[in-house]
Structure 1
Amino acid sequence: MVIGITRSQRWVLALVCAVAVSTIYAIQPVLEAAGTSLGWPPESLGGLVAAGQIGYFAGLVLLVPLADMMNRRRLITVHLVLTATGAAVAAVAPNGAVAVIGLAVAGLFAVVVQVTVAYVAAHSTPEERGRNIGAVTSGVVLGILGVRIVAGVLGDTVGWRAVYAVLAALCLALALTVHRILPLDNRIRGPRYTQVLASMGRLARTDRLFLNRGLIAFFVFASFGTLWSGLALPLGAEPWNFGATQIGLFGLAGLAGALGAARAGRWADAGRAQAITGFALALLVGSWLLIARTESTLWLLLAGIVLLDFAVQAVHVSSQHLLTEAHQQRAGTVIGAYMAFYSLGSAVGALTTTWAYGTWGWAASCWVGAAYALSALALWGVDAAHSSRTLVDNCGAETDGYPQLSRTCQE
């Protein structure tokens, strides 16, 4: 296997992540227009949002394990083509039922993101694994937040269908590019599919590192979902009364924070993944103190958004670095299972923020988001204490799954 990811390959793979994940979130800023076009009543529009998320969750469980069994370059190429197919179906859908099918197909194969991360982890040198994962996963946040801006502008000018037509074209272009520039991922045939699926369940039962990082991801992305699924509510109301395009521009603040966390991969390479996780989670908690202040000024809100997205991305990169380092031979399975926590947390955050806002207002949504962040920080604290005790009391005997702790013991 060729080891090493070039700069151009890293950029292309980051774009793969950005475009693929965009197919899941692009419907949110154009939801009302899509519903009107498809003839769906307002109370049914949640089905359009849920379709991509449900497809994505199914892909995490059923498709991502294939990354440990098949040629990953070929898998990335095929998944991009099928994601493009789903987006194209959504773009030309004559009714809501067909649109749901297209969005679900796009979401199902958007798990190409996790296959891409597994490819990067396998082809990176140990010294650059964290850096490369950080750069590529920055594309995920770029897609989640950037598509809000692009879709809002396209939806207001050309129409909501143009959003999915553009995404379909980008997926096809990236499929051709990946096929041309990435080296083959020739590996010894992996375990059977049923064995890989069974191993995902065993991870949660037996692997302390995986369970801890998965639960942290659940609460971190529940906090993330609380902000981005609920932010349009206070901004669209008095005293701001912003439209979809204006609200979408707030994604720029999130992009600034997330891209600023790209260095988290290098910090993880230097053995500071645990420390940067704790620091980032503390920032995540503090960010909600600023996000809650939307009554008279937006500057504090913008600062809070930058901090929140920096923290979320820093934790996400550090967790994936630790997990892929600990499970190099089955990175696809581990990342897929880990991202299932992410997906579930995002969905829970979206549900609870709208409920809290509708019942008590934006302040309640912020309390919910902060509670999720505090839960993640508490989990990190418990794990950090356990790691310290292991290092002092029984160094080396219980460090399986904690490669950086094992390395410290050896030194």
Structure 2
Amino acid sequence: MVGSLLSVRTMLLAIFVLMAGSGFLSTLIAIRLEEAGAGDFVIGLVGTSYFGGLTLGAFTVVRVIERVGHIRAFAAFVSIFSASSLTYAVIDLPAAWTVLRFIDGFMMSGVFVCLESWLNRVARPDNRSAILASYMIALYAGQAIGQFLLNLQDNAPALPFMLSAILLSISVLPVVLTRIEQPVLEEVAPFSLKRLYEASPLGIVGTLATGMMLGAFYALGAVFVQRVGLPLSQVALFTSCVIAGGVVLQYPLGMLSDRFDRRRVIIAAMLAAAGLCAALAFTSEPALIFIVGAAFGGFAFALYPLCVAHSNDHLEESERVGASSGLVLVYSFGAMLGPQFGSASLSWFGPAGLFGAIGVFALVGAVFGIWRMIVSPPVAEDDQQDFQILPRTTPMASVLQDDN
């Protein structure tokens, strides 16, 4: 097992460094727009733009990779992303930043497809879960640690953007120097969303609600922290706490969902997230904000893999990869909507409005889940597949799922 992880160490190092250099940009950009006096709608629009690029890229980057190969495509995607990061320091206009965030999302989609298809090239049935877990740890760890680069901008506003570009550029090295043979891209067959909804209504609605929740958080969470009166150094800590909480609770909740009706765990996680959102909306004590934020992340981040597992419980094995790829797109669509609703609520109700809106998204998902429990029977225990953590990146991530 250790040998299999060593074989993909270059890919894991690349995603760690890349996320350290890019994962804090959404927080930094929201802070800068807030300081510049941009309206809540504009901040939300910039956040939506990133997820729009991520969604469109999922449909188009495969052609680029097939044409020039993984190494060249990865280098091109990261180079453009690095140039975009530097451009933020040169052009200080919200309209330009909206375009740049769309480019960032598009390039990140290409990066994810390259790395995830490479990991799938190495993965075997006996090590697939370990590789996927290691990938998730590297991704979230880089994203959480990178948040602290926000604290370096006091005397040099351009410095975080420069550091982002440096880290992005460095992330190319493990890939271009790798000795792993370039993979052939897995073809992910399209899956009808209508068929997916018919098979698992809660899977679709729960994934959409999760996308709206986390899209709003990533786009506007930094604005919330600043408006409740916490200093910039606490913004990075809050975001890191939420991400860390998301890593810690995924496995425990997943194991529970393997033992009980998975819908009950999804509903409980939705209700817990809604309750924690209410606490965040009315809490101004810094220590409580961090603790409650970490708990919120734990439940919110677990919802996507729970919804994927619940959907797969209703599908044949041959349908699961296509279905999971469809759920990635549903999540991305929700993540595009979330910042718009979140920004509107932020404008109408002040800082409490953001987590008020996120709580409503979670509550709607919970109510829908309760209705589904009333009108449909649970999945037989023998038909329920094992839970697996999954990244909310691109459809290629679905190929990394364990073969059952």
Conservation of the 8 A alpha-carbon contact between 1:284 and 1:373: yes
Conservation of the 8 A alpha-carbon contact between 2:81 and 2:107: yes
User: Which deviates more, 114-123 or 165-174?
Assistant: 114-123
Shift of 1:158: 1.6
Residues in 1 aligned to 2:247 and 2:133: alpha-carbon distance in whole angstroms = 9
Shift of 1:294: 1.1
Shift of 1:309: 0.8
Over 3 Å counting, the alpha-carbon distance change for 1:10 and 1:307 in structure 2 is farther
Shift of 1:371: 2.4
Q: Is the counterpart of residue 358 in structure 1 residue 355 in structure 2?
A: no
* Superposed CA RMSD: 4.6
Shift of 1:97: 6.0
TM-score, scaled to structure 2: 0.72
Over 3 Å counting, the alpha-carbon distance change for 1:106 and 1:369 in structure 2 is closer
Conservation of the 8 A alpha-carbon contact between 1:220 and 1:312: yes
Give secondary structure in 1 for the equivalent of 2:161: helix
Conservation of the 8 A alpha-carbon contact between 1:134 and 1:317: no
User: Which deviates more, 52-61 or 381-390?
Assistant: 381-390
1:54 corresponds in structure 2 to 52
Residues in 1 aligned to 2:223 and 2:39: alpha-carbon distance in whole angstroms = 19
Shift of 1:304: 1.8
2:281 corresponds in structure 1 to 292
1:137 corresponds in structure 2 to 136
Q: What amino acid is the match of 1:178? A: V
1:89 corresponds in structure 2 to 87
Residue-by-residue CA offset, 1:238-264 (whole Å, 9 max, x unaligned): xx5333333333223213312324646
Shift of 1:370: 2.1
Q: Percent identity?
A: 12
Q: What amino acid is the match of 2:296? A: L
Conservation of the 8 A alpha-carbon contact between 1:210 and 1:323: yes
Structure 2 stretches of 5 or more lacking a match?
A: 388-403
Counterparts of residues 5-154 of structure 1 (less than 5 Å) = 5-6=5-6, 8-9=9-10, 11-15=12-16, 16-32=18-34, 48-63=46-61, 75-93=73-91, 99-111=97-109, 112-121=111-120, 123-142=122-141, 146-151=145-150, 153-154=151-152
Residue-by-residue CA offset, 1:302-359 (whole Å, 9 max, x unaligned): 2221111112222334556788998999999766643333333233332223322332
Higher relative contact order (CA 8 A, sep 6+): 2
Q: Is the counterpart of residue 314 in structure 1 residue 313 in structure 2?
A: no
Q: What amino acid is the match of 1:12? A: L
What is the aligned length?
Answer: 380
Counterparts of residues 207-286 of structure 1 (less than 5 Å) = 207-208=196-197, 212-227=202-217, 229-232=219-222, 235-237=225-227, 241-261=229-249, 263=251, 267=255, 274=262, 277=266, 280-286=269-275
Shift of 1:216: 1.9
Q: What amino acid is the match of 2:32? A: V
1:303 corresponds in structure 2 to 291
Structure 1 stretches of 5 or more lacking a match?
A: 406-410
- Aligned counterpart for 2:176 among listed residues 176, 179, 185: 179
Over 3 Å counting, the alpha-carbon distance change for 1:302 and 1:89 in structure 2 is closer
Q: Is the counterpart of residue 342 in structure 1 residue 335 in structure 2?
A: no
Residues in 2 aligned to 1:162 and 1:104: alpha-carbon distance in whole angstroms = 22
Conservation of the 8 A alpha-carbon contact between 2:209 and 2:334: yes
Conservation of the 8 A alpha-carbon contact between 1:17 and 1:116: no
Over 3 Å counting, the alpha-carbon distance change for 1:31 and 1:362 in structure 2 is closer
Residues in 1 aligned to 2:21 and 2:147: alpha-carbon distance in whole angstroms = 12
